[in-house]
Structure 1
Amino acid sequence: MSFAPYKNCQIEYSVTGKGKGLVLVHGTGQSAENTWTEVAKHFSSKRTVVCPNYSGSGRTQDSNEPLTIELLAEQVLATAEHAGLQQFDIAGHSLGTCVAMYLAANYPDRVGKVILLAGFTSTEDARSQLQFRMWKEMAETNPKLLAETFLFTAFSPAFVAGMPDCAVKDTVEAIFTTTDWKGTARQIDLDLRINVMKEARAMQQETLVVGCVHDYIIPIAHSKELMKVISNAQYAEMETGHGGCVENLEQFISIVDGFLA
């Protein structure tokens, strides 16, 4: 892993492969490693793939101020520049889609094609506010419970039901021990305030919106709303939960391969 400087931040990131740039941006409580490792392996055979950990994830360091979408986006852009990318396509997952949309709208000369997996523009609806308030309280007071909640809600019921008990315990323990819970609470605080509707409407790039049918974190209605507001978008669905690129890696890669080609 490398580090890119940006103002008072040191942003951890990985870079693999050679070719046209592809930047992969993770979501809330996640990291580049546990979201994109297998996706990056595939695309690094033909792309320069950059996977940053924005503030609150991995070993990225900052001054611990409240997060903004502008800060996360500028961190991702600084990382791409540090890795030698002047122009790049970008894929975001969950909160990472908001980062991708902000960059696409504000840096149209830098951002090419855009992939939005389990995306949203805001969490102003009552259900989202309830969920993220619960998450924030758990992150601050009972992170082990939030680790269990992440596993329970991030994948489809069939996927979780098919996991052996030992795999469930091991996965929860891995989430609990590898997550920066103070950083996650900061990211959740941003989730509660975020709104990138203006940026979504301003985007002109070719955009692939990927909705997850069994998504209980960001219900698929949010992806369908993105289709209405992004002018140059196409749509695909996956029969997965929120973590579509982990739950069905082959399908996600196939969809993205076709779009980028």
Structure 2
Amino acid sequence: MQANVLPVDEYPLRGPVQIWDGPVFYRETIGEPAVHPPLLLLHGWGGSSRYWRPTMADLGNDRVVIAPDLPGFGESPPLKGTATAENLAEMVIAFADRMGLEQFDLNGHSFCASVAVYLAVRYPHRVRRLVLTCVSTFRSEGERRIVEQVHHILALWMALRRPWMGRVRPFYRTVASRFFYRTPSDDQILYESFIDFMKMDQRTALETASSAGDHAIHPAMASVRNATLVIGARQDTIMPPSGTPEVARLILNSRLAWIERCGHLPMIERPKVYHRVLREFLD
């Protein structure tokens, strides 16, 4: 097994960048030389730009890599409007404009795979290549309702959180371990993941969870025309792998890649495998 070691924080938060809805903090690495197009990384529900640091370290030598804290997550304050995947897509394109990114590769993880899909459909000329990591979808109305209920339970749990939870090692190890196939021995990784989860704005958590069963996502996926890579993790307990092939089926110009013995955070749990798959597609 690969060692689960996060790099030293060589990519501290920068900003904020002011967009139409408020400030957005981000991390950035400047590739020298910039051989490839910029890569924009979107974290998932309950996360932040922090867990993209291994990806920035691995791919940042020959391209600009930028990872924002989306509104309501990490250090960025929530949207003034409703935090749906479609509204967040508009925020991301505004952020890209402010960062001077005319065209870029886009990688959306988990919930933000939907954000990336909406962005690619609305602004296809801006996205060179699209990557959807640990994404799943429903194959029937019954599955859609299950997905919706699971996210509502997670959002309800957010309302019950308390500051002391982050100080109790067995508690945060138990919660954070759900995101991994094999729980990392490094407490710092689990603690950081849990703290990001605890920081999520409660209204943002509820609004984004409510859009998990969005009926519009299937037509949006079917409208994507960008070259797309769908990456699934076989032991993902957050986004059911059973729905991942359906995503690849809906997106016309896509291919599906699986990472074995891996949970919901392949950039941390299986970084060498994940980054090799990612680099081969982008390059």
Q: Would the TM-score normalized by the shorter structure come out above 0.5? A: yes
SS in 2 for 1:104: helix
RMSD over aligned Cα, in angstroms?
2.3
Identical columns (%)? 25
Aligned mate of 2:88, from 72, 77, 97: 72
Structure 1 match to 2:29: 16
Aligned ranges for residues 101-250 of structure 1 at < 5 Å?
Answer: 101-121=117-137, 125-142=144-161, 144=165, 147=172, 150-156=175-181, 159-160=182-183, 163-164=184-185, 167=186, 171-183=189-201, 186-194=204-212, 195=214, 196-239=217-260, 240-250=262-272
Q: Deviations over 1:105-146 (max 9, x none)?
A: 110110110111111356962332232122112111135399
Q: Which residue of 1 aligns with 2:19?
A: 6
Aligned residues: 253
Per-residue deviation, residues 77-109 of structure 1 (Å, max 9, x unmatched): 122222211000101110111111111111011
Structure 2 residue runs of 5 or longer lacking an equivalent are 1-13
What is the TM-score normalised by the length of structure 1? 0.87
**CA 1:55–1:177 in structure 2 vs 1: closer, same or farther (change >3 Å)?**
same
The secondary structure found in structure 2 opposite 1:125 is helix
Query: Within 1, Cα distance between the matches of 2:95 and 2:155?
Result: 28
Closer/same/farther in 2, CA of residues 28 and 185 from structure 1, 3 Å limit: farther
Deviation, 1:48, is 1.2
8 Å CA contact 2:85, 2:112 repeated in 1 = no
- 2:278 is aligned with 1:256: yes
Q: Does 1:47 align with 2:63?
A: yes
The C-alpha deviation readout for 1:132-186, integer Å capped at 9, x for no partner, is: 1221121111353995564232111xx12xx44xx45x55544444445451552
The worse-fitting range, judged by mean Cα deviation, of 206-215 and 112-121 is 112-121
SS in 1 for 2:57: helix
Give the SS at the match of 1:14: strand
Matched residue SS, 2:38: strand
